[in-house]
Amino acid sequence: MVGFREHEHSVPRAQKSQITLARATLFITIIVVLILLSLEGGIRVWSYYFRSSHEIYNASKGRYEPVPGVHILGNGPPLIVNSKGFIGVEFSAEKPKNVYRIFTIGDSCTFGIMEYTYPGVLHKMLHADKSGKEFEVINAGVEGYHSGFALARLKEDVLQYQPDLVTIYVGWNDFMKANPENLAETGRYTALARLMEQSYLIKAYKKVIFSYVRPVLAKPNVVNTTDDLHFYDTFESSEFRGNLLEMIKILKAKHIKALIMTRPTVVREGMSEEDIKRQNVMFPWYGNAYSVNKLLSLHRAYNRMIRSVAEHEEIPLVDLDAEFEKYDKYSLFWDTMHPNEKGQRIIADSIYAKIQEML
């Protein structure tokens, strides 16, 4: 009887222990979730409103925009953002009849102080032209823009100002942050993948890990292997291609000319570790592309998509990737993808030559 009673009382104790453990687990889970949500919210607020003096998050549009005004970024000329949110001087909302208006859509390779960027150089070149036409070149580039934001910029900001020509130079932010081995990045989204992609906490984690921690703990692969050089040759991003096609479709429907560009890079085969450091080469924010040849393979894949869209849609292509190969590329870039003043001049020259063919 005694043994039976001991067993009888032991069951409730076990149940109580399980309940206590479950409550503790639930409590810890709630605390962790609240901490993560607080971090997510804090990073978003900082990124939206305090990260930069010249860009701010527009909640109604779900993307960043330049802040109108004069911004001092260094010792050089100021960054001027006009009242309409574009780089450069003011322009008339209603296009004058004698003006050929060009908008340049892009990311940080397009955005910048007007005097130093290809839109500004192109503007000067066209104004010096003796053709009798009057040109406006309006810089619609925004730092950090991927192809989806570029599409939104076109639809919501650019079209209302009656452009005659829109140039499109995007893809680096798709390239750097969208893992080609993640199904979500190829266009086949899952709810979890979409949530993770939109999390600013995860974005911050990736930036810290891949931009700061990884270079300290590991060296990029510089071994020149054929497998790595063709690793991403068959990669296809339906989202990137789809955004480009949608931009072209919109422009064609409104009888606006489009011009699309491939993306040059300072990276080349055979780079040493010293070359990588000297040229400030940044690698994509995912693990399997920490290799010179894999980076080049993925770079070719994105440019292949750009060339394919241009050919399929029968629109002019400026093949900057091929053009930059004619020069000493090490003297044309600040880092992996951002052209310096010499590089920006080459871009302007290339666009100018194509415009002469188009007019």
Non-local CB neighbours of 291 within 8 Å, separated by 6+ positions: 220, 221, 222, 228, 231
Over 80: is that where the pLDDT of 357 sits? yes
How many whole angstroms separate alpha carbon 137 and alpha carbon 351?
12
What was the pLDDT predicted at 46? 85
Give me the half-sphere count of Cα atoms (radius 13 Å) on the Cβ side of residue 2.
0
Q: Where are the domains of the chain?
A: 1-51, 58-358
Could you give the dihedral angle defined by the CA atoms of residues 335, 193, 202 and 286, in that order, rounded to the nearest 10 degrees?
-40
Residues in the chain: 359
Averaged pLDDT for residues 322-333: 97
Round to whole Å and give the CA distance between 248 and 260: 9
Whether the CB-CB separation of 247 and 152 falls below 8 Å is answered with no
Residue 4 has pLDDT above 50, yes or no: no
Query: What would the two tokens of residue 356 be?
Result: 């002469």
pLDDT of residue 171: 97
For the entire predicted model, the pTM comes to: 0.88
| HSE-up (13 A, CA, CB side) for residue 324 | 27
Residues paired with 56 in a beta bridge: 65
Residue 69 pairs with which residues in a beta bridge?
81
pLDDT of residue 189: 53
- Three-state DSSP state, 106: strand
Mean of the per-residue pLDDT values of the chain: 90
Residue 341 has pLDDT above 90, yes or no: yes
Q: Is the pLDDT of residue 241 over 80?
A: yes
Q: Which two tokens stand for residue 108?
A: 């940080």
Q: Tokens in use for 50?
A: 């305090």
- What are the residues facing 196 on neighbouring strands? none
* 19 burial via Cβ count (<10 Å: 0-12, 13-18, 19+): exposed
3-state class (DSSP) for residue 55: strand
Fold of 58-358: Rossmann fold (3.40.50)
